[in-house]
Amino acid sequence: MMVDKLCSASDEGATTLLSVRDDNMFLDGEKMCEAGIIEHMAQSASAMEGYKYKSQGKEAPVGFIGEVKKFTLNFMPKIGDTISTEIRVVSEAMGITLINAQSSVDGEVAATCQMKIFIRG
């Protein structure tokens, strides 16, 4: 799992946390590679969707990445860092959720992107 904690979730978005531990599968040496950050962003959006489904008494759906646009990597978080991610929902229709994601470590933006998540309930 690439999300430790869903801190807040609403129709507009969510915030999540992930601690980079030494057993994370996305490590490149001491650092989390860009694929790990993108997976963390996607799982943050999935956690948000899962929370919404569960609060309506429905099974959590599976979600997968349909598109990533304008992903910009500033730096790779390292072991011991806590990644804080903000998800903003841009639109949601027909099982496709369009989000903006921003991941930070200690207030410094590590990466941003736009993502389309395909949700299958």
CA proximity to 101, closest of 3, 9, 90, 11: 90
Question: DSSP character for 59?
Answer: P
Residue 1 or residue 11: which is nearer to other proteins going by CB?
1
Residue 53 or residue 118: which is nearer to other proteins going by CB?
118
Residue 13 or residue 36: which is nearer to other proteins going by CB?
36
Least spacing, CB of residue 77 vs other proteins, in Å: 13
User: Do 41 and 48 form a contact (C-beta atoms < 8 A)?
Assistant: no
CA 89-90-91 angle, 5° bins: 95
Residues found in the chain: 121
Least spacing, CB of residue 78 vs other proteins, in Å: 12
- H or E stretch including 53? helix 34-55
Interface contacts to other proteins, rule CB under 8 A: 1, 25-28, 33-36, 38-39, 42, 62, 64-73, 76, 113, 118
Least spacing, CB of residue 36 vs other proteins, in Å: 7
Least spacing, CB of residue 13 vs other proteins, in Å: 21
